[in-house]
Amino acid sequence: MYLIGLTGGIASGKTVVAKRLEERGAVRVDADKLARDVVAPGSAGLGAIAERFGHDVIAADGSLDRAALGAVIFDDAEARLALNAITHPAIRELSSRLFDEAAAADPDAIVVYDVPLLVEALAYPDYHRFDLVVVVNADAETRIRRLVELRGLSREEAVHRLNSQATDSERLAIADVVIDSNGTLEETIEQADALWDDLPHRQRREPSRV
Protein backbone atom coordinates (compact mmCIF):
# COMPACT_ATOMS: atom_id res chain seq x y z
CA MET A 1 0.00 0.00 0.00
CA TYR A 2 1.11 3.54 -0.81
CA LEU A 3 -0.49 6.09 1.51
CA ILE A 4 -0.99 9.71 0.45
CA GLY A 5 -2.02 12.42 2.88
CA LEU A 6 -4.00 15.03 0.96
CA THR A 7 -4.83 18.35 2.59
CA GLY A 8 -5.68 21.96 1.84
CA GLY A 9 -7.44 24.92 3.38
CA ILE A 10 -11.17 25.48 3.09
CA ALA A 11 -12.22 26.21 -0.52
CA SER A 12 -8.76 25.31 -1.79
CA GLY A 13 -9.99 22.65 -4.22
CA LYS A 14 -8.80 19.71 -2.15
CA THR A 15 -11.98 17.73 -2.75
CA VAL A 16 -11.64 18.23 -6.51
CA VAL A 17 -8.17 16.68 -6.38
CA ALA A 18 -9.27 13.85 -4.07
CA LYS A 19 -12.16 12.90 -6.34
CA ARG A 20 -9.95 13.03 -9.42
CA LEU A 21 -7.38 10.72 -7.86
CA GLU A 22 -10.22 8.38 -6.92
CA GLU A 23 -11.43 8.44 -10.52
CA ARG A 24 -7.91 7.48 -11.62
CA GLY A 25 -7.91 4.44 -9.34
CA ALA A 26 -7.00 5.51 -5.81
CA VAL A 27 -8.88 4.33 -2.74
CA ARG A 28 -10.19 7.51 -1.12
CA VAL A 29 -10.74 7.72 2.62
CA ASP A 30 -12.61 10.88 3.59
CA ALA A 31 -11.67 12.18 7.03
CA ASP A 32 -14.73 14.44 7.15
CA LYS A 33 -16.99 11.39 6.78
CA LEU A 34 -15.05 9.55 9.48
CA ALA A 35 -15.41 12.60 11.73
CA ARG A 36 -19.19 12.28 11.36
CA ASP A 37 -19.13 8.52 11.88
CA VAL A 38 -17.25 8.69 15.20
CA VAL A 39 -19.85 11.05 16.69
CA ALA A 40 -22.92 9.24 15.37
CA PRO A 41 -25.84 8.74 17.79
CA GLY A 42 -24.96 6.12 20.38
CA SER A 43 -21.21 6.35 19.79
CA ALA A 44 -18.63 6.70 22.52
CA GLY A 45 -17.42 9.87 20.82
CA LEU A 46 -20.81 11.56 21.07
CA GLY A 47 -21.09 10.54 24.70
CA ALA A 48 -17.71 12.08 25.46
CA ILE A 49 -18.70 15.31 23.70
CA ALA A 50 -21.92 15.54 25.71
CA GLU A 51 -20.00 14.98 28.93
CA ARG A 52 -17.43 17.65 28.08
CA PHE A 53 -19.63 20.31 26.45
CA GLY A 54 -23.06 19.61 27.94
CA HIS A 55 -26.26 18.26 26.49
CA ASP A 56 -27.06 21.57 24.79
CA VAL A 57 -24.87 20.35 21.91
CA ILE A 58 -27.06 17.27 21.41
CA ALA A 59 -30.09 17.68 19.14
CA ALA A 60 -33.57 16.43 20.03
CA ASP A 61 -33.11 13.35 17.83
CA GLY A 62 -29.95 12.34 19.71
CA SER A 63 -27.52 13.48 17.03
CA LEU A 64 -24.75 16.04 17.40
CA ASP A 65 -25.99 19.61 17.01
CA ARG A 66 -23.05 20.84 14.96
CA ALA A 67 -24.19 24.45 14.94
CA ALA A 68 -24.45 24.50 18.72
CA LEU A 69 -21.05 22.86 19.14
CA GLY A 70 -19.54 25.19 16.56
CA ALA A 71 -20.79 28.18 18.52
CA VAL A 72 -19.08 26.82 21.63
CA ILE A 73 -15.69 26.15 20.08
CA PHE A 74 -15.53 28.83 17.39
CA ASP A 75 -13.55 31.42 19.35
CA ASP A 76 -12.27 29.12 22.10
CA ALA A 77 -8.95 27.48 21.31
CA GLU A 78 -9.03 25.42 24.51
CA ALA A 79 -12.46 24.04 23.63
CA ARG A 80 -11.26 23.12 20.13
CA LEU A 81 -8.31 21.26 21.64
CA ALA A 82 -10.68 19.40 23.96
CA LEU A 83 -12.88 18.41 21.02
CA ASN A 84 -9.86 17.26 19.03
CA ALA A 85 -8.69 15.16 21.96
CA ILE A 86 -12.01 13.31 21.79
CA THR A 87 -12.36 12.93 18.05
CA HIS A 88 -8.82 12.55 16.70
CA PRO A 89 -8.00 9.20 18.39
CA ALA A 90 -11.32 7.73 17.24
CA ILE A 91 -10.81 8.97 13.69
CA ARG A 92 -7.27 7.61 13.68
CA GLU A 93 -8.47 4.17 14.78
CA LEU A 94 -11.20 4.07 12.15
CA SER A 95 -8.95 5.33 9.36
CA SER A 96 -6.28 2.77 10.25
CA ARG A 97 -8.87 0.04 9.93
CA LEU A 98 -9.89 1.28 6.49
CA PHE A 99 -6.25 1.50 5.35
CA ASP A 100 -5.72 -2.10 6.50
CA GLU A 101 -8.81 -3.22 4.60
CA ALA A 102 -7.58 -1.50 1.43
CA ALA A 103 -4.16 -3.13 1.75
CA ALA A 104 -5.70 -6.55 2.36
CA ALA A 105 -7.86 -6.19 -0.76
CA ASP A 106 -4.90 -4.99 -2.86
CA PRO A 107 -1.35 -4.87 -1.46
CA ASP A 108 -0.45 -2.39 -4.21
CA ALA A 109 -3.35 -0.05 -3.48
CA ILE A 110 -2.79 3.69 -3.58
CA VAL A 111 -4.79 5.14 -0.71
CA VAL A 112 -5.58 8.85 -0.55
CA TYR A 113 -6.46 10.11 2.91
CA ASP A 114 -8.47 13.28 2.29
CA VAL A 115 -7.93 15.19 5.53
CA PRO A 116 -8.46 18.95 5.94
CA LEU A 117 -6.85 19.16 9.39
CA LEU A 118 -3.66 17.30 8.58
CA VAL A 119 -1.34 19.92 10.08
CA GLU A 120 -3.28 19.81 13.33
CA ALA A 121 -3.43 16.01 13.35
CA LEU A 122 0.31 15.60 12.82
CA ALA A 123 0.80 17.11 16.27
CA TYR A 124 -0.23 13.73 17.66
CA PRO A 125 2.88 11.51 17.97
CA ASP A 126 1.11 8.28 16.97
CA TYR A 127 -0.46 9.71 13.82
CA HIS A 128 -0.22 8.00 10.43
CA ARG A 129 3.04 7.98 8.50
CA PHE A 130 2.47 8.97 4.89
CA ASP A 131 4.50 8.04 1.86
CA LEU A 132 3.57 11.37 0.29
CA VAL A 133 1.92 14.55 1.55
CA VAL A 134 0.07 16.60 -1.07
CA VAL A 135 -1.13 20.12 -0.34
CA VAL A 136 -3.73 21.79 -2.54
CA ASN A 137 -3.05 25.49 -2.26
CA ALA A 138 -4.87 28.66 -3.29
CA ASP A 139 -4.22 32.12 -1.93
CA ALA A 140 -6.47 33.54 0.77
CA GLU A 141 -8.30 36.01 -1.47
CA THR A 142 -9.16 33.27 -3.96
CA ARG A 143 -10.59 31.09 -1.22
CA ILE A 144 -12.52 33.96 0.35
CA ARG A 145 -14.05 34.76 -3.05
CA ARG A 146 -15.06 31.12 -3.53
CA LEU A 147 -16.67 30.98 -0.09
CA VAL A 148 -18.64 34.15 -0.78
CA GLU A 149 -19.64 33.36 -4.37
CA LEU A 150 -20.11 29.59 -4.19
CA ARG A 151 -21.16 28.98 -0.58
CA GLY A 152 -23.02 32.17 0.20
CA LEU A 153 -20.92 33.27 3.17
CA SER A 154 -20.33 36.88 4.02
CA ARG A 155 -16.75 38.08 3.67
CA GLU A 156 -16.46 38.26 7.45
CA GLU A 157 -17.66 34.67 7.84
CA ALA A 158 -15.23 33.52 5.15
CA VAL A 159 -12.29 35.22 6.82
CA HIS A 160 -13.24 33.64 10.16
CA ARG A 161 -13.32 30.19 8.52
CA LEU A 162 -9.83 30.69 7.08
CA ASN A 163 -8.44 32.01 10.34
CA SER A 164 -9.76 29.01 12.30
CA GLN A 165 -7.53 26.64 10.30
CA ALA A 166 -3.79 26.17 9.98
CA THR A 167 -2.00 28.85 7.99
CA ASP A 168 -0.90 28.40 4.40
CA SER A 169 2.74 28.44 5.49
CA GLU A 170 2.09 25.69 8.03
CA ARG A 171 0.49 23.49 5.37
CA LEU A 172 3.17 24.19 2.78
CA ALA A 173 5.87 23.29 5.32
CA ILE A 174 4.68 19.66 5.39
CA ALA A 175 4.14 19.31 1.62
CA ASP A 176 6.03 16.92 -0.62
CA VAL A 177 3.89 18.05 -3.56
CA VAL A 178 1.93 21.29 -3.97
CA ILE A 179 -0.99 21.55 -6.37
CA ASP A 180 -1.67 25.19 -7.24
CA SER A 181 -5.44 25.61 -7.45
CA ASN A 182 -5.58 29.35 -8.05
CA GLY A 183 -6.42 28.73 -11.69
CA THR A 184 -9.28 27.01 -13.46
CA LEU A 185 -10.87 23.72 -12.49
CA GLU A 186 -9.32 22.13 -15.58
CA GLU A 187 -5.84 23.31 -14.57
CA THR A 188 -6.26 21.81 -11.11
CA ILE A 189 -7.42 18.50 -12.57
CA GLU A 190 -4.46 18.48 -14.96
CA GLN A 191 -2.10 18.76 -11.98
CA ALA A 192 -3.90 15.92 -10.21
CA ASP A 193 -3.50 13.79 -13.34
CA ALA A 194 0.19 14.66 -13.53
CA LEU A 195 0.63 13.61 -9.92
CA TRP A 196 -1.14 10.30 -10.56
CA ASP A 197 0.97 9.61 -13.64
CA ASP A 198 4.15 10.30 -11.65
CA LEU A 199 3.29 7.99 -8.75
CA PRO A 200 4.81 4.83 -10.27
CA HIS A 201 8.15 6.65 -10.57
CA ARG A 202 7.89 7.89 -6.99
CA GLN A 203 7.08 4.41 -5.73
CA ARG A 204 10.15 2.98 -7.44
CA ARG A 205 12.38 5.69 -5.99
CA GLU A 206 10.90 5.71 -2.50
CA PRO A 207 9.80 2.42 -0.92
CA SER A 208 6.62 2.68 1.12
CA ARG A 209 7.03 3.84 4.71
CA VAL A 210 3.65 2.44 5.75
CATH number, position 64: 3.40.50.300
pLDDT at 89 over 80: yes
Report yes or no on 197 lying in a domain: yes
Number of structural domains, the chain?
1
CA 180 – CA 63 distance, rounded (Å): 37
Report yes or no on 176 lying in a domain: yes
DSSP annotation of 176: S
DSSP annotation of 207: -
DSSP annotation of 64: B
Distance linking the first and last C-alpha atoms of the chain: 7
pLDDT at 125 over 80: no
pLDDT at 10 over 80: yes
Q: What percent of the chain has pLDDT over 90?
A: 79
**Residue 153 near residue 11 (C-beta atoms within 8 A):** no
**Residue 56 near residue 68 (C-beta atoms within 8 A):** yes
Report yes or no on 54 lying in a domain: yes
Report yes or no on 91 lying in a domain: yes
> CA of 176: how far to CAs of 14, 42, 77, 133, in Å?
15, 39, 29, 5
Note the pLDDT tens digit of each residue in 40-52: 999 999 999 999 9
Report yes or no on 24 lying in a domain: yes
Q: Band of the pLDDT at 204, cuts 50, 70, 90?
A: confident
pTM of the entire predicted model: 0.88
What average pLDDT does range 130-159 have in this prediction? 94
CA 147 – CA 164 distance, rounded (Å): 14
Report yes or no on 207 lying in a domain: no
What average pLDDT does range 109-127 have in this prediction? 89
Q: Band of the pLDDT at 81, cuts 50, 70, 90?
A: confident
Q: Which residues contact 157 (CB under 8 A, 6 or more apart)?
A: 147
Report yes or no on 209 lying in a domain: no
Q: Band of the pLDDT at 161, cuts 50, 70, 90?
A: confident
Please give the residue range of the domain that contains residue 182. 2-202
Report yes or no on 153 lying in a domain: yes
